[in-house]
């Protein structure tokens, strides 16, 4: 039978909770927070924060750190299965990290491409709403301890295929992030998407794509009072790299990214209907809606 020592001894020092096994020997309680998959999860958070630090003006460093953080998303699952350390905390940590890092990148894209900010804001909202609704529906309506990845095929074959096949799940998530990374790199290199990447103000030559954003890092004080203004930052990041590779990555990954958003919509709709189904059953148990007496009975 399990037993737990008091959390503090007479001197006020904290004592780790212990359990007693069937033969009477005490064993230390497992520290879930130090499981290998969760340690990998913490490293993902650190890499993501570091990428955000470099995001405004250092595209290569930021992309490298961000990509490693995303790729580690596959490694924590492998570690969880290998060490038999799958936990609810780890699953939630993984989902929160995914949602948070993607949202931060989309926030940057909304500022880099202000004409399309409503699109990026919509994608952030859809991503959070879809996963929150799905997670809550699973906890409320699913069996005790059921994972959000355990999908009944009768409820949605699309979500069943998406969550049950690790290769499919990884491909969609990876290419979805790749598309947004490609857009991020294009914000440094493509006057086609960012026509306000400014040319060198000291030059009197007519504007053309060849001299937009030249020099690569002009003094912000030449045009802007504050070196941290949106215009100064946009000017400082202009033409820091060639746009060929980012365009190729964006074109390749766009169909999968679009498919990922469709899956998010399906997930949101299915979770909403599942919750509504539970509401109907709950109301039925309570005798709702209550039948109102007829007009004839009222007259009596």
Task: List the domain boundaries for the chain.
Answer: 32-189+242-265
Distances in whole angstroms, Cα of residue 128 to Cα of each of 79, 101, 204:
26, 12, 48
Indicate the SS3 state at residue 27.
strand
**Which pair of structure tokens corresponds to residue 186?**
């294009």
Residue 10 is predicted with a pLDDT of 45
Summarize pLDDT for 126-136 with one digit per residue, the tens: 999 999 999 99
Summarize pLDDT for 143-172 with one digit per residue, the tens: 766 777 778 777 888 998 999 888 999 999
Give this prediction's pTM.
Answer: 0.78
Strand partners, 28: 18
150-159, 208-217, 226-235: range with lowest mean pLDDT: 208-217
> Is 98 an active-site residue?
yes
Inter-axis angle of helices 88-112 and 59-82, nearest 10 = 160
Residue 96 is predicted with a pLDDT of 95
Alpha helices in the chain (DSSP H): 36-54, 59-82, 88-112, 117-141, 157-164, 166-186, 230-236, 244-285, 295-299
CATH topology of domain 32-189+242-265: 1.20.120
- CA 237 – CA 214 distance, rounded (Å): 10
Residue 245 is predicted with a pLDDT of 94
For 275, half-sphere exposure in the C-beta direction (CA atoms, 13 angstrom radius) is 15
- CA 220 – CA 230 distance, rounded (Å): 11
Residue 156 is predicted with a pLDDT of 85
| Residue 98 reports pLDDT greater than 60 | yes
- Selecting among 98, 200, 242, 279, the annotated active-site residue is 98
Query: What is the sign of the dihedral through the CA atoms of 209, 214, 219 and 222?
Result: negative
Q: How far apart, in Å, do the first and last CA atoms of the chain sit?
A: 65
Indicate the SS3 state at residue 9.
coil
Mean pLDDT over 64-91 rounds to 93
- From the number of C-beta atoms within 10 Å of its C-beta (0-12, 13-18, 19+), residue 31 rates as exposed
196 band by pLDDT with thresholds 50, 70 and 90: low
Task: Determine contact, residues 63/50, Cβ cutoff 8 Å.
Answer: no
8 band by pLDDT with thresholds 50, 70 and 90: very low
For 205, half-sphere exposure in the C-beta direction (CA atoms, 13 angstrom radius) is 11
């Amino acid at each position: 039978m399990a037993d737990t020592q008091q959390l503090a001894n007479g001197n006020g020092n904290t004592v780790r909770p212990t359990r007693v096994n069937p033969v009477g020997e005490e064993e230390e309680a497992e520290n879930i927070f130090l499981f290998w998959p969760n340690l990998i999860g913490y490293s993902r958070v650190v890499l993501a924060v570091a990428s955000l630090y470099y995001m405004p003006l250092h595209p290569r460093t930021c992309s490298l750190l961000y990509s490693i953080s995303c790729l580690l998303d596959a490694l924590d699952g492998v570690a969880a299965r290998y060490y038999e350390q799958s936990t609810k905390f780890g699953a939630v940590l993984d989902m929160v990290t995914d949602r948070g890092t993607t949202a931060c990148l989309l926030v940057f894209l909304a500022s880099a491409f202000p004409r399309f900010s409503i699109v990026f804001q919509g994608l952030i909202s859809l991503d959070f709403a879809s996963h929150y609704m799905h997670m809550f529906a699973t906890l409320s309506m699913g069996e005790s301890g059921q994972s959000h990845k355990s999908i009944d095929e009768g409820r949605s074959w699309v979500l069943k295929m998406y969550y049950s096949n690790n290769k499919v799940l990884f491909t969609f998530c990876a290419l979805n992030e790749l598309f947004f990374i490609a857009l991020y790199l294009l914000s440094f290199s493509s006057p086609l998407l960012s026509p306000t990447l400014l040319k060198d103000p000291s030059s009197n030559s007519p504007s053309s794509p060849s001299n937009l954003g030249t020099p690569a890092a002009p003094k912000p004080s030449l045009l802007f009072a504050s070196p941290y203004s949106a215009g100064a930052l946009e000017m400082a990041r202009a033409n820091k790299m060639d746009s060929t590779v980012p365009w190729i990555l964006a074109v390749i990954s766009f169909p999968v990214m679009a498919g990922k958003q469709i899956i998010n919509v399906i997930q949101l709709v299915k979770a909403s209907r599942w919750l509504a189904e539970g509401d109907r059953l709950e109301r039925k148990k309570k005798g709702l809606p209550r039948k109102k007496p007829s007009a004839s009975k009222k007259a009596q």
